[in-house]
């Protein structure tokens, strides 16, 4: 029996330490104090004054406030309010609904992303290769011009063999300009085949051309820089530029 009482006291004390327990105890104390005060002789005169001045209204209020059911109603209301607050809080903290995608559709999207990445890498590689060809042409043009200048000849129009004809005994100079023109023409043909959508001063000059040495040299330099820039842009974005390569864009 003593052990049961101790366990009962511990359980009551544990529940009383919780917030709902304190509220229930407080309501019970207030209710008990009100009933006790009304029965105490000290409030007899107050009750007589109350009866004289408040009349039927006070009687109705008393019947409601001091009804044996009032505590039950308060507890029910408290439970309802607490349930409402918890339900609302749980609804606000509810995680967002996940977007479900069918496995086939998901794999299709993944394949498209992988294909675009591979295609972008191939396009960037082609552009870098063409940029390297343009740089080789620049190097050969500068070397040819210096050889001509050191031999007392003037290479003013490097893209037209009909102009600036050197002494035919200097066959090495003729061969150097011929090699440059062959590389230049081959580069233009690769451009028109691989990246027909690419434009620059080099593509606008064409071949043969009566452009002078400095014009051709500066055009090749800016041309190579633009090829490198386009390649870097495609590589970093991992998105192919179909319009640059003359391929129709995907339809939405």
Question: pLDDT for 85-138, tens place per residue?
Answer: 666 665 555 555 555 656 566 556 556 666 778 888 888 999 999 999 999 999
Q: Is residue 250 part of a domain?
A: no
Same-domain status, 63 and 161: no
Same-domain status, 127 and 194: yes
Is the pLDDT at 44 greater than 80, yes or no? Answer: no
Question: pLDDT for 173-200, tens place per residue?
Answer: 888 999 999 999 999 999 999 899 999 9
Tell whether omega for the bond before 208 is within 30 degrees of 0, i.e. cis. Answer: yes
Question: CB within 8 A of 225, min separation 6: which ones?
Answer: none
Q: How many domains does the chain have?
A: 2
Same-domain status, 110 and 184: yes
Same-domain status, 211 and 143: yes
Q: Is residue 242 part of a domain?
A: no
Same-domain status, 109 and 233: yes
Q: Is residue 247 part of a domain?
A: no
Same-domain status, 18 and 122: no
State the average pLDDT for the chain.
75
Q: Are 147 and 173 in contact, with CB atoms under 8 Å apart?
A: yes
3-state class (DSSP) for residue 14: helix
From 143, 222, 137, select the one nearest 188 (Cα to Cα).
137
pTM of model > 0.85 = no
The range of the structural domain enclosing residue 72 comes to 2-92
């Amino acid at each position: 029996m003593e052990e049961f009482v101790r366990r009962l006291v511990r359980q009551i004390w544990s529940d009383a330490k919780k917030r709902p327990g304190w509220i229930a105890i407080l309501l019970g104390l207030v209710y008990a104090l009100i009933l006790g005060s009304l029965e105490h002789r000290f409030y007899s005169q107050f009750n007589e004054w109350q009866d004289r001045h408040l009349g039927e209204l006070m009687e109705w209020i008393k019947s409601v406030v001091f009804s044996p059911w009032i505590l039950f109603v308060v507890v029910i209301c408290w439970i309802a309010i607490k349930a409402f607050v918890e339900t609302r809080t749980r609804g606000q903290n509810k995680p967002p609904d996940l977007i479900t995608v069918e496995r086939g559709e998901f794999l299709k999207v993944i394949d498209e992303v992988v294909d675009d990445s591979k295609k972008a890498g191939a396009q960037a590689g082609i552009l870098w290769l063409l940029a390297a060809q343009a740089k080789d042409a620049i190097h050969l043009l500068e070397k040819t011009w210096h050889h001509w200048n050191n031999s007392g000849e003037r290479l003013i129009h490097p893209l037209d063999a009909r102009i600036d004809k050197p002494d035919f005994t200097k066959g090495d100079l003729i061969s150097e300009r011929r090699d440059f023109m062959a590389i230049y023409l081959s580069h233009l043909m690769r451009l028109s085949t691989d990246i027909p959508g690419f434009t620059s001063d080099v593509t606008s000059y064409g071949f043969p051309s009566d452009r002078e040495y400095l014009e051709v040299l500066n055009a090749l330099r800016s041309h190579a820089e633009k090829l490198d820039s386009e390649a870097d842009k495609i590589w970093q974005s991992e998105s192919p530029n179909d319009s640059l390569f003359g391929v129709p864009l995907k339809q939405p």
